[in-house]
A and B are shown apart, each in its own frame.
Chain A
Amino acid sequence: MLDSARQRVLWGIGILVVLLYALIPVLWIASLSVKPVDKLTDRKFFSGEISFDNYQSIFKDDTFIAALVNSIGIALIATLISIVLAAMAAYALSRLDFAGKTVILSGALAVAMFPPISIVGSLFDMWRSIGLYDTWAGLIIPYMTFTLPLAIYTLSAFFREIPWELEQAAQVDGATPFQAFRKVIVPLAAPGVFTASILVFIFAWNDFIFANTLTSTDNARTVPAALAFFTGGSQFEQPIGAISAAAVVVTIPIIVMVLIFQRRIVAGLTAGAVKG
C-alpha cells in the first residue's frame, strides 16, 4: 500500500475520531468528579477548577468502602472458582478424546446467552429461604452463569494452541511427569489462564442485575448496585459529584488492565467468540 501523505492524514483523522469516540464519556465523568460543588451545573465539559472534595467524601463514606470491598472480593472469588473449574474442563475439551465435546461447548454457549432476568426471581425466593440473600456466596453462585462459559471458551481456545508434545519431550529427557507439567506446561498455559481471568473479572465486576436484586445492604452490595442507590450526603443534595467520583474509582482498575494487557484481551475475546 502506498504510504502517501494524503492517506496518512486520512488515517490520522480516522484514528482521532475513534479515540474521541471512546474517550469522551470517560473524560466527561472524570471532569464531573473533580468539579467543585458550585461548578457542577455550569454545563461545561471542563470547568477549569479542580477539587478533590468528591473523592474525600466517598472515601469517608462507609457504604462506598463496603461496596468497594464487596466488589473486589466477590469478583476475585468468582474469577478464581470459575477459572479453576473451567481450566479442568478446557484441558479435557482441547486435549482429550471423548464423546460429548460438542454438547458441552454448545451447552456452555447456551448458558452464556441465558437472560439473567429469567432467574433473578427464583434466586430471590430461594436465597431468602436458605439464607443466601444479601451474602457474597449469593452473588458468586449466579455469577457462574456468565463467568463459566466465558472462561471455558477462552481457555479452550488458548489450550488448543499449546504444543502439548513438549511435555512428552521433557519426560523423554528425564523429567518426572510433575516436573514436565510444572516446568513446561504451566509456563505455556499461564498467559491464557491470565487473560481468561482478566476477562472473567471484568464481567463479574460489571454485573448489575444480580447485585441489584440479590443484595440489600452493605453486606454484599457491590459498587454498581451501590451507585444506583446512592443518595448523597443529604436527601436533597444532587449526588452527581459523588457518583462521578465513585464511577471513576471503579473505572480505574479496568482502564489500567486494558492498557497493560490490551493485546491479550483482544486475543482472548476474539478467540472465545469467533472460534466458538
Chain B
Amino acid sequence: MEAASVPDAQVAPQAPKPAKGGATDRAKSERRLAYMLCAPAVIAMLIVTGYPIGYAFYLSLQKFDLRFPDEKEFVGLSNYGDVLSSSTWWSDVGTTLIITVASVSIELVLGMAIALVMHRAIFGRGAVRASVLIPYGIVTVVAAFAWRYAFDPTSGFVQGLPLISDTWAPFNERDSSLLVIILTEVWKTTPFMALLLLAGLALVPDELHEAAKVDGANAVQRFYRITLPLMKPAILVALLFRTLDAFRVFDTVFIQTAGANGTETVSILGYNVLINRVNLGLGSAISILIFIAVILIATFFVKVLGTSTAQQRGEA
C-alpha cells in the first residue's frame, strides 16, 4: 500500500530536486513549509493515539482497580498472564473470529455481486449507487436496532413471516444470535466492500474481455480468468480494511445482545472490564492484546498484499 502512495512525486514536477551535496534554497524552504504544514496533523495523530496507547501499556503493568485505587501497584506482566490463561478471553477470541471470518467472506461474495451489477448496469445506476450508500452511511447503532427489532419475538416482522415460528427468539441462543449479528454487519458494510471492488473493476480493461469473448470464453470463464486475477490488489485492500474493522466489532454486539449467550467479542470484554468493572489494569492488558492482534492481522495482509502487487508488476 505504501508503494501505491508514492506517485506524489510525479505530480509535483515544478519542484526542483535538490542537487547532490547541498539542497537549493528553494528546495530547503519548500521542505520547511511542508513540515510546518504537516506538523499539526501529525502531532495531533501522535497525541491522540500514541500517548493513550503508551498509557494503556503502563496501566496494563499495574494492579489498578478504580474501586480500590489505594491498592495500585506494579505487577509486571501478571495481568497478561491472567488474561491469557482465562477461558473467557479465548472463547471471546473465538467468537470474534467467527464473526470476522463469516461476515467478511459473505461480504466479499455479496459485494462482488453488487459491484458487478453496478458496473454493468445499463440503467438505474444512480439509484443503485444511492441505495447502497444508505447502509454505509447509516449509524451502526441504528442498523443494529433495526435488525434487533426485526428479529425480536414481540415486535419482529421476521416472526410474522410464513414458515417461521411466532415464538422464535433468536437472541436466546448463541448460534442464532451470531447469525443476526453477522447479518447486521454484512448488511451494513457490504456496500463499502462493493464500492472498493467497483473501483477495482473499473481498472479491468474491456478489450481483454472482448478478446477473450472472441476466443470463445464464456462469462464465467472470463470472470475467473480475467476479472478476478486483475482485481487481486483491490480485493486484498478491501479485505484488509474490512477484516480489521470486523475484528473490532462492538456497536452491533453491544446493542443486540450485550455479549449474552456466548456472543461476547474481545472489544465487548475489554469494555466490560474497563468501564463496568473499572478494572483498568486488567482491562488495559486486554486493550493491548487486541492492539497486538490488529497489528498481526495488518502485517499478514500487508505481506500478502506486498507479494501480490510485486508479482503483478513482474508479470506486467
Contacts and interface: CB of A to CB of B under 8 A. Distances in A.
A85 B275 CA distance: 31
A209 interface: yes
B130 A212 contact: no
A160 interface: yes
A86 interface: yes
Contacts of A58: none
Given A148-B41, A228-B141, A142 B48 contact: yes
Given A15-B128, A258-B137, A117 B254 contact: no
A40 interface: yes
B169 interface: no
Contacts of B37: 88-89, 91-92, 96
Contact of B53 (A25, A28, A119, A205): A119
Interface stretch (A49-57, A171-179, A189-197, A267-275): A267-275
Contacts of A42: 160
Contacts of A266: 129, 133, 195
A240 B154 CA distance: 10
B274 A251 contact: no
Interface string B1-43: 1101110110110110100000000010011011101101110
Interface string A235-257: 00010100110010011001101
A119 to B, nearest CB: 4
Interface residues of B, number: 105
A223 B127 contact: no
A149 B56 CA distance: 22
Interface string B157-201: 101100000100000000000000000000100011001101110
Given A28-B149, A144-B48, A208-B140, A117 B8 contact: no
B270 A117 contact: yes
Nearest to A43: B160
Given A89-B41, A250-B142, A240 B149 contact: yes
A105 B195 CA distance: 22
Interface stretch (B100-108, B220-228, B243-251): B243-251
A212 B272 CA distance: 12
B189 to A, nearest CB: 12
A191 B291 CA distance: 36
Interface string B104-146: 0000000000100110111110111111111111111111011
Contact of A117 (B27, B199, B248): B248
A228 B148 CA distance: 12
Nearest to B134: A22
B38 to A, nearest CB: 5
A257 B149 CA distance: 26
Nearest to B282: A121
A160 B155 contact: no
Nearest to B153: A43
Contacts of A276: 1, 4-5
B42 A275 contact: no
Interface of B (DSSP majority class): helix
B290 interface: yes
B31 A98 contact: yes
A115 interface: yes
Interface string B279-302: 010011001101100100010000
Interface string A43-73: 1110000000000000000000000000000
Given A11-B121, A257-B137, A19 B42 contact: no
A77 interface: no
A247 B27 contact: no
A276 to B, nearest CB: 6
Given A96-B15, A117-B270, A247 B142 contact: yes
Contacts of B237: 273-274
A116 B45 contact: no
Interface of B: 1-2, 4-6, 8-9, 11-12, 14-15, 17, 27, 30-31, 33-35, 37-38, 40-42, 44-45, 48-49, 52-53, 55-56, 59, 114, 117-118, 120-124, 126-143, 145-147, 149-150, 152, 154-157, 159-160, 166, 187, 191-192, 195-196, 198-200, 234, 237-238, 241, 244, 247-248, 250-251, 254-255, 266-267, 270-271, 274-275, 280, 283-284, 287-288, 290-291, 294, 298
Given A22-B191, A149-B45, A254-B139, 14 more contacts: A18-B131, A22-B131, A25-B187, A32-B149, A96-B34, A113-B244, A118-B294, A121-B56, A141-B48, A206-B140, A247-B141, A250-B139, A263-B126, A276-B5
Interface of A: 1, 3, 7-8, 11-12, 14-15, 18-19, 21-23, 25-26, 28-29, 32, 40-45, 85-86, 88-89, 91-99, 101-102, 104-111, 113-126, 141-142, 144-145, 148-149, 152, 156, 160, 164-165, 202, 205-206, 208-209, 212-213, 223-224, 227-228, 238, 240, 243-244, 247, 250-251, 254-255, 257-259, 262-263, 265-266, 269-270, 273-276
29 contacts: A15-B117, A18-B114, A25-B135, A26-B146, A28-B150, A29-B142, A43-B155, A86-B41, A94-B8, A94-B11, A97-B30, A102-B5, A111-B45, A114-B294, A115-B294, A118-B52, A118-B56, A122-B53, A122-B287, A212-B271, A213-B271, A227-B142, A240-B149, A250-B139, A250-B142, A258-B130, A266-B129, A273-B241, A274-B234
8 A-B pairs closest in CB distance:
A43-B160, A97-B15, A119-B52, A270-B199, A98-B34, A92-B37, A22-B131, A122-B55
